[in-house]
Amino acid sequence: MTTATTPTPDPTERMLRFHQPEKTLSHLGPAPDQAGLAALLGLDPADYRTRLNRLDEHNRTAAAALAAAPGAAAHLAGLPFRPGEHVVAVGESTTADRLSWFEILRHLLPDGVRCTNLAVSGSTTTQALANVPRLASHRPDWVLCMLGANDVQRLDGIPLVAAAETRRALRALRDLTVRRTGARWIWLTPTGVHPERVAQYVHFRRAGLAWAAADLDAVADLLLAEPEATVDTRAAAHDHLEEDGLHLTPAGQQRVAAAVLEALGTSPTRPDQNTALTGPEPQP
């Protein structure tokens, strides 16, 4: 699979990729305009717009590469999303990333399919559950949910959220949203980590933060046992991680988008029913 060219990383670009103040400050009233958002990130409005446009152009290029891949036409035709429907993503930094799999996917969906990304960097399942009213207010027809990676982060060895609470919150998030909106639900597993890089990353080390592959696998096993469709993204994101060992590179995000496209585009029915979906095997 051809991958789009990776933008040159810099600290401001990283902030812009993973943090959207308009989401986390929504309780304060109407979202700031672009000038206000630019100021929060220490940018002038013109630079802010230029950077946003560059990130979106990367997503369009990644989407075009996926659409040109062998077999992609059949997968695109098989996607369950129809014009007039609203697809909403819920998640943490993997999905909130402005170069995320969901931001790529939106450029692959038919005209007339509306996409809203409600993912918030750092979100736990409990925090996502507290945001059910906001999620329901968007009246989604479909919800794509990738959560759990922050629950299993360890603070000096202690998990942030107990496994039983993760299970309860994920099920409650789904049940309450479906009850309020009638949305159809699709799970995505957390993507995985590189434990050695996580341990060496200076900011995680100073904060006493760590992630273990076994903990993320336990979340994936939980999701794969649920009755809804689940896309297993772990193989797709294999060895496509940033220097921190946790966040996906743009190439990794493109591979997750490919996994979603392949899994949902080859499901025998619209994934309203019990279906386990897996992405492609990692490429050498």
Using the predicted structure, report yes or no on whether residue 185 has a pLDDT greater than 90: yes
Alpha carbon of 174 to those of 162, 179, 187: distances in Å? 19, 8, 10
The whole-angstrom distance between residue 85's C-alpha and the CA centroid of its chain comes to 19
Q: How many domains are there within the chain? A: 1
How far is it, in rounded angstroms, from Cα 200 to Cα 117?
A: 31
Q: Looking at the domain assignment, is residue 35 inside a domain?
A: yes
Express each pLDDT in 235-257 by its tens digit: 887 789 999 999 999 999 999 99
Distance between CA 115 and CA 85 in Å, rounded? 9
Place of tokens 């946790």: 246
- Kindly state the average pLDDT of the residues 13-17: 81
Answer whether residue 256 is part of any domain.
yes
CB atoms within 10 A of CB 242: 16
Residue 72 lies in a domain: yes
Q: Is residue 3 part of a domain?
A: no
Domain holding 76: CATH number? 3.40.50.1110
Of the pLDDT bands very low, low, confident and very high (cuts 50, 70, 90), residue 267 is low
pLDDT digits (tens, 9 = 90+) for 16-59: 788 777 776 665 556 667 777 777 777 778 888 888 899 999 99
The per-residue pLDDT for 212 is 93
Give the 3-state DSSP-derived string for 144-187, with helices as H, strands as E and coil as C.
EEECCCCCCCEECCEECCCHHHHHHHHHHHHHHHHHHHCCEEEE
Domain limits for position 105? 11-278
Considering the domain boundaries, does residue 178 fall inside one? yes
Query: Looking at residues 105-109, what average pLDDT do you find?
Result: 97
Q: Report the alpha-carbon distance of residue 60 to residue 58 in Å, rounded.
A: 5
Name the phi and psi angles at 235, rounded to 5: -70, -35
Amino acid at 38: A
* Tokens 């980590």 found at: 193
* pTM above threshold 0.85: yes
Please state, in angstroms and rounded to a whole number, the distance separating the CA atoms of residues 260 and 272: 15
Tokens representing 80 are 């369950």
**Average pLDDT of the residues in 85-104:** 97
Q: Does residue 283 sit within a domain?
A: no
Percentage of residues in the chain with pLDDT exceeding 70?
Answer: 87
- Is residue 1 included in any domain, yes or no? no
Is 146 among the domain residues?
yes
